[in-house]
Structure 1
Amino acid sequence: MTTSRITADVAALRASADQGLARPVAARVTELEALRRGIRTRRRDLQRALAADLGKSATESSVTEIGPVLAEIQTAVKNLRSWTRPERFSPGTLLAPSRGSIVREPLGTALIIAPWNYPVNLTLSPLVAAIAGGNTVLLKPSELAPATSRVIRSLIEEHLDPAWVRVVEGAVEETTHLLAERFDIIFYTGNASVGRIVARAAAEHLTPTVLELGGKSPVFVDEGTDLAIAARRIVWGKFTNAGQTCVAPDYLMATPATLEALVPELREAVREMYGRNPMRSADYGRIVSERHFDRLRSLVDDDLAVVGGTAGADRRQRYLAPTILAGASWDHPVMAEEIFGPILPLLPVEGPAEAIARINAGEKPLTAYVFSPSHEVEERFAEQTSSGSLALGLTLAHLGTTAMPFGGVGESGHGAYHGKAGFEAFTHAKPIVRKPLRPDTLRTIYPPYRAPRRRILGRLFR
């Protein structure tokens, strides 16, 4: 797509925003319902595209991609009128008599840059929030999931108003052109290095950003935990989408005795979910590209693999088995960066205190996971560590609720969305204060400040 076409698209969307096209709540609901119809109409096309790009089964696509978007739409349509209702407040004694309200106004024109790992969910869920907020939107799907990108573009063009939402496909060149344009908010999901590029470009126009990044999300398994249940939840959270999930468990910590007992439970959980040969499983995905496959394969130390490894790995099919590494050190290459693939290193710690210290020694993760029978241990992690979210007794599934804001902190990003939090991310909370001209009580604070007025103001501000 040419620079002139991108500029024209941005100008058209900004003109629509300036004209107030997206402001009426009824219009927003109509557009959201059109998106819902489009998703339902093209559901099979989306499933086939996700299978082509990432090897996702139709069921996994429904659970982790299409279903969450439909849930976001349902929540927004159901609650939009209450979300947009002005919130009353009292301006206080000094301004009495007066009244105040906070209204949520659209930011204007939004740019959404989506990732490849959940290319339906992480493209369309922010779109739902942006539409709910009354914005016009330019969508940039990921070029690394090309089949899904094509279907999304077709879906948007068929079912949504082009004055409201447009799609730009392409790679680095197109994204660079987009970032040179002025938007009213930029929503980016991806890695921290590109997040910095987005933030620098946004700073040129003082554009606010929501950055949904990632990091090394830790798991701690405490002594006394039901290891069979914990293993199933960890394996599901780690190996869904072949580990290509921003909140997938990145590494697991436990005492040496707990790790020894946990390994066979992890092995059994992998076998239960994906069979003895996961390559044949319809429910196990594929790595997005050969380049990513090569990076992940280089991190696998077969001498440490107690589950999986590179035996049977197939570059052409982008297949890498669910792999668990036992005995990896803290300075092993697998610990140098976010893994973002089906490799789970197990690392021994003395107990909760060391696990907390290890988490705090690194960048703040997008989420952290704790499995413990002790409420006291759970509270220690809640109070003594910082992460975008904390999940106790589960992995991954907490992202499926629209009731919880989802976002990072520090290196893992800033800003949050899902449900009402998404609506708030794409709107500005504007206070409005109303005070009658009579009686003119503000005369009390006007100069000159002679003795009587000084006494009155002294009592007001003591």
Structure 2
Amino acid sequence: MVIQDKVQLEKLFESQAERRWELALSGPEERIAKLKKLRSAILARSDELYVALKSDFSKPAFEAWLTEVFPCIEEIDVAVRHLKAWMKGRRAKGTLILPFASTCVRYEPKGRVLIMAPWNYPFQLLIAPLISAVAAGNCVIAKPSNKTPHTAAFIADLIACVFEPQEVAIVEGPGSTLGDLLLELPFDHIFFTGSPSVGIKVGEAAARVHAGLTLELGGKSPAILLRGANLKQASRRIAWGKFLNAGQTCIAPDYLFCPSELVGEFAIELRLAVESFYGKTEEERQASADFPRIVDKTACARLERIVKDAISKGAKLEFGGRFDVDNRYASPTLLTGVRIDMAIMAEEIFGPILPVLAYNSLDEAIEFIRARPKPLALYILGRDKKSAERLLARTTSGSVGMNDLILQIENLDAPFGGVGMSGTGSYHGFYGFKTFSHERTVLYQGPISAVEKFYPPYNTRAQQRLLGAMKKIKNIG
């Protein structure tokens, strides 16, 4: 749905106000039927999605399946399998002061929710939270990124074939203008995935209307190579995690800490991994159908600029460094001898460039990480359990990958989210359902209430006996 003006958007928002109470009364069977319909539509039209993603940034079909389609299908399957149990809520344990009462926690839809999706995984990062919101019984307005117009148009058409706009609507329009209009509306929950700078603005808008808020942001996620690691294996895993989607992944390793004596050997192994993935020469890599493009020329030019800045300040180009801005190509690039005063270490890279910082003591890496905003992910590669535990205990991050990269996001039985400047809140599986639900505590009291003994006036002998008994049970002098 293309939004022409504020009036049209407000009309859509009001139409969902009427529907939200109907959805609140919907049972698991009704919600499951909708999710199954969405699943069928995604699979039936996946080839169209691959074409859209190819048009937007040359994403290979296999990578599109692996990182865009499959995670959404899995999200639906988990919700379908468990939604009935999730919606039952849970019974709370009794307490000393409520011996005759029972308490339960109900999961109720928040109401009208806004999902604002980024461009780097334009399908998955819109549809996955949308699945959780629908499972929880909400009305949804979702805005895809206008940087991936072909995928945005596909999503809008797909959702229009599955849901009525009064329930779920995809809105399109000029990015900043439409985004500002959406943030003026009193949504019950806002789910935003994107940059920390925009996340601050979204958080301020949510605070103005007291909306629930989930921020999935980013930042500079470190990887630490430990001494004694299997260099060949670690290098291949780093190459895959870093260069997947041409490095345009919020949980990709942004930079690598490497033992100083292993930097040269690591550079050789990473080059071999890149050559086996995408081709032995720069020409082969640029021609590879398995390596995506950067989202736009502006982003590509920025990557070229920060690489040139690093080299001009003394960084060594081990391989890569090739840019074709007109065709939005940035080659897999490794830089060693990187210093923290270089532009490449001042901002999230979001591209296929890996800077390497050499370390002598693990404490150097720990101090560096702790001195900066909390990252969305942290990766540890090596079999030294003591060093790994030392890193875990002395740092914090949204998630951690031990001896592999990216894959921590795939387990839907665990929450995914950031911490501090890398985000707030989490989702996936039950955690997504919970994010879009209000946990409502309900107490059921029977004919007898122990609390009646505590009504005023507070000077009866029975009250004093009860008070004494309670203090004795709680070991209060």
- Asked if Structure 1 and Structure 2 have the same fold, meaning a TM-score greater than 0.5 normalized by the shorter chain, the answer is yes
Residue 343 of structure 2 is aligned to residue 315 of structure 1: no
Displacement, 1:12? Answer: 1.1
Alignment of 1:6-21 (within 5 A): 6-20=9-23
214, 217, 222: which is aligned to 2:218?
214
The Cα shift of 1:335 comes to: 0.1
Match of 1:189 among 186, 193, 196: 193
The amino acid of 1:84's aligned partner reads M
Matched, 1:449 2:458: yes
Q: CA deviation at 1:440?
A: 3.9
Q: Distance in 2 between matches of 1:390 and 1:352?
A: 17
> Following the alignment from structure 2 to structure 1, what is the Cα–Cα distance between the partners of residues 335 and 205?
39
Instruction: After superposition, give the CA deviation of every residue in 1:153-190 in whole Å (9 maximum; x if it has no partner).
Output: 00011122323101111211111111000101000000
TM alignment of 1:180-259, pairs within 5 A = 180-259=184-263
Task: Tell me if the contact between 1:90 and 1:98 (Cα under 8 Å) persists in the aligned partners.
Answer: no
Compute the displacement of 1:85 (Å): 1.5
Aligned residues: 459
Give, as a single letter, the amino acid of the residue that structure 2 aligns with 1:74: D
The alpha-carbon deviation at position 259 of structure 1 amounts to: 1.3
Distance of 2:376 and 2:180 partners within structure 1: 26
- 1:359 match: 369
Distance 1:443 1:159, change over 3 A: closer
Structure 1 segment 93-132 matched on structure 2, within 5 A: 93-132=96-135
Query: Secondary structure at 2:329's aligned position in 1?
Result: coil
1:335-362 per-residue CA deviation (whole Å, 9 max, x = no partner) reads 0000011110011111321111111011
The 5-angstrom pairing of residues 378-457 of structure 1 reads: 378-437=388-447, 439-452=448-461, 453-457=463-467
Q: Is the 8 A contact 2:101 2:449 kept in 1?
A: no
- Contact map agreement 2:98 2:449 (CA 8 A) in 1: no
The letter of the residue matching 1:261 is E
Q: Distance in 1 between matches of 2:52 and 2:23?
A: 35
**Structure 1 residue 23 and structure 2 residue 26: aligned?**
yes
1:146 aligns with 149
Distance 1:4 1:306 in 2: 55
1:10-40 CA distances to partner (integer Å, 9 max, x unpaired)? 1111211023366321121111111111111
Q: Which amino acid aligns with 1:314?
A: D
Whether the aligned pair in 2 keeps the contact of 1:214 and 1:366 (CA below 8 Å) is yes
CA–CA separation in structure 2 for the residues paired with 1:21 and 1:330: 52
Tell me what 2:270 maps to.
266
Listed as ranges, the matches of 1:166-185 within 5 Å are: 166-170=169-173, 171-185=175-189
Matched residue SS, 2:368: helix
**Higher deviation after alignment, 346-355 or 52-61:** 346-355
Contact conserved, 1:22 with 1:136, CA < 8 A, in 2? Answer: no
Q: Distance in 1 between matches of 2:203 and 2:345?
A: 26
- Classify the secondary structure of the residue corresponding to 1:79: helix
- Secondary structure at 2:334's aligned position in 1? strand
Match of 1:294 in 2: 301
Show CA shifts across 1:320-348 (max 9, x none).
Answer: 10011011111111000000111100111
TM value normalised by structure 1: 0.97
SS of equivalent residue, structure 1 residue 380:
helix
User: Partner residue of 1:279?
Assistant: 286
Distance (whole Å) between structure 1 residues aligned to residue 89 and residue 430 of structure 2: 15
The separation in 1 between residues aligned to 2:147 and 2:435, in whole angstroms, is 27
Amino acid at match of 2:406: L
Task: For residues 409-442 of structure 1, give each alpha carbon's deviation from its aligned partner in whole angstroms, at most 9, with x where no partner exists.
Answer: 00000000111111111111111111112x3432
- Is the CA contact 2:12–2:165 (under 8 Å) kept in the aligned structure 1? no
Q: Is the contact between residue 254 and residue 347 of structure 1 (CA under 8 Å) also seen in structure 2?
A: yes
Instruction: For residue 328 of structure 1, give the secondary structure of its aligned residue in structure 2.
Output: coil
TM-score of the pair, normalised by structure 2: 0.94
What is the CA-CA distance between 1:402 and the residue it aligns to?
1.1
* CA contact 1:116–1:144 (8 Å) conserved in 2: yes
Using the alignment, how far apart are the partners of 1:339 and 1:22 within structure 2? 46
Give the equivalent residue in structure 1 for 2:84: 81
Shift of residue 62, structure 1, vs aligned partner = 0.2
Unaligned runs of 5+ in 2: none
Rounded to whole Å, the distance in 2 between the matches of 1:48 and 1:458 is 74
SS of match in other structure, 1:210: strand
Note if contact 1:23-1:135 (Cα within 8 Å) is conserved in structure 2.
no
Aligned with 2:75 (options 44, 47, 72): 72
Counterpart Cα distance in 1 of 2:191 and 2:371: 29
- Give the deviation of 1:458 after TM superposition: 3.3
Q: Distance in 2 between matches of 1:36 and 1:84?
A: 21
Letter aligned with residue 306 of structure 1: E
Corresponding residue for residue 343 of structure 1:
353
Letter in 2 for 1:224: G
